[in-house]
Amino acid sequence: MLGRLRRCALLVALATAVAAGGKIATRRFLFPAQDLRPLPRPRGFVEHQLVAYDGVEVRALELAADLGARVVVHFHTNRETAEGLADLARRLHAGNLGVVLVEYRGYGRSRGTPTENGVYADAEAVLDMLAARGIGRDRIVLSGASLGTGVAAEMARRGRGAKLVLVTPYTSIPAVIEDAAPFVPASLFVEDRFDTLAKAPAIDVPTLVVHGDADEIVPFWMGEELAHRIRGAVLRRVHGGRHGDLFARDPALVDAIAEHARS
């Protein structure tokens, strides 16, 4: 009940922001990069400064793979930067995987202002860098959490990876808002839609969907729906899992993701 109230409060705040400031206010709510404090650079990572096709400078952190190993390219939530994912990256790397943490424009030390098409361009820049080094789609595992699931799914639709991992995915941003606050006509004003449900039939790679059945932000049924719509997807249900605690509640989750990536 408290989770539902918190979720409604967040989304009512979004509706208020839209009424007050329109598209710009909506994007500030969806991409709160300005609220995140920079974190120290983690040791052991290679830092890449890249330029997206539209000229925006973006950044990625990498733990390099052993020769021939798969590489997990991870897209973060709307309230994270690359540095905050260093521990997860190290755990995946220990499972004989390379890891690249993509940092969206406007976040951390990346330049620019985030938009849906902009973060897709950032993802393409990182994947192009890997391809130029001989790491093609057959070695790429596209991974996303929360907001990042929309980016990972779009890259899978474009044929940029061999595997897909979606942690707490949504069907679309307007659907998340309208599920919690049906009185808000989100489909009319949200420009950055990240409509993964519409793309699901075009995704044709082995997919692992992870969702907590007590998620207070993105309802569990959205993960179920995507697992049903993506051909051959496997759903890993985390009992009692909320939006941000799946790795704590499911100690075997990192190993499950690593096994999916390597298989």
Catalytic annotation, residues = 146, 215, 243
How far apart CA 97 and CA 256 sit, in angstroms, is: 13
Instruction: Point out which residues pair with 163 in neighbouring strands.
Output: 141
Contact indicator for 151, 176 with CB cutoff of 8 Å: no
Given phi > 0 = left and psi -120 to 50 = alpha, else beta, which region is 74? beta
Q: What share of the chain is helix, strand, coil (3-state, %, to 5)?
A: 45, 15, 40
How far apart CA 21 and CA 89 sit, in angstroms, is: 37
Instruction: Point out which residues pair with 140 in neighbouring strands.
Output: 71
CB-side exposure of 141: number of CA atoms within 13 Å?
25
Which residue type sits at 188?
L
- With tokens 């298989």, the residue in question is 263
H/E run at residue 47 = strand 46-51
- With tokens 């598209």, the residue in question is 23
How far apart CA 34 and CA 37 sit, in angstroms, is: 8
How far apart CA 19 and CA 184 sit, in angstroms, is: 11
